């Protein structure tokens, strides 16, 4: 059985250099996430305001700040199409598919976050947030 010195200085330098390389590679991803966070964290939470929502510029983060309050306090699922359009304004989708609607929320890194709604019998069957 031979003697092995696990505490050699060369191994410590290699481990340290490896950690530095990993940190350097992870830095761009960290900066991107801090600069372009998701729809729930891109702005401070604010109460939902129908007029503010309708007048918001899609390139701002106003709607992203309101979306948590809209989903959890006001509620979307189960509401009639007429109620949702009164709250959010007309559907901003460009599809002819009447079973899906969406509203722009705010920009993400490469796309834009949207609130997407699936209709069933003119009621919200399901609502979710995704990027395009």
Residue 70 and residue 126 in one domain: yes
Residues 88 and 125 in one domain: yes
C-alpha 83/C-alpha 14 separation (Å) is: 63
For position 9, what pLDDT does the model report?
66
Alpha-carbon distance of 4 to 16, in angstroms, equals 20
User: Does any domain span residue 106?
Assistant: yes
Q: What is the pLDDT of residue 95?
A: 79
**Rounded Cα–Cα distance for residues 26 and 47 (Å):** 35
Query: Are the beta carbons of 112 and 60 closer than 8 angstroms?
Result: no
> Into how many domains does the chain fold?
2
* pTM for the predicted model, two decimal places: 0.66
Question: Do 24 and 61 belong together in one domain?
Answer: no
Q: How high is the pLDDT of residue 119? A: 96
Range of the domain at 124: 50-131
- CATH code for the domain in which residue 68 is found: 3.30.1450
Whether 97 is in a domain gets the answer: yes
In this structure, are 126 and 61 located in the same domain?
yes
60, HSE (Cβ side, Cα atoms, 13 Å):
11
pLDDT of residue 38: 52
DSSP 56-92: --TTSSHHHHHHHHIIIII--TT-BHHHHHHHH-S--
With a cut of 50, list the residues of the chain below it in pLDDT.
34, 36, 40-42
Give the pLDDT score at 30: 52
């Amino acid at each position: 059985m031979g003697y092995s010195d696990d505490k050699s200085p060369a191994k410590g330098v290699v481990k340290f250099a490896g950690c530095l390389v990993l940190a350097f590679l992870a830095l761009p991803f960290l900066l991107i996430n801090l600069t372009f966070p998701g729809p729930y964290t891109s702005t401070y939470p604010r109460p939902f305001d129908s007029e503010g929502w309708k007048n918001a510029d899609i390139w701002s983060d106003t709607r992203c700040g309101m979306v948590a309050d809209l989903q959890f306090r006001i509620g979307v699922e189960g509401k009639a199409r007429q109620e949702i359009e009164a709250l959010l304004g007309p559907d901003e989708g460009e599809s002819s598919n009447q079973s899906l609607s969406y509203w722009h929320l705010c920009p993400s890194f490469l796309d834009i976050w949207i609130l997407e709604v699936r209709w069933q019998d003119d009621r919200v069957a399901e609502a979710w947030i995704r990027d395009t």
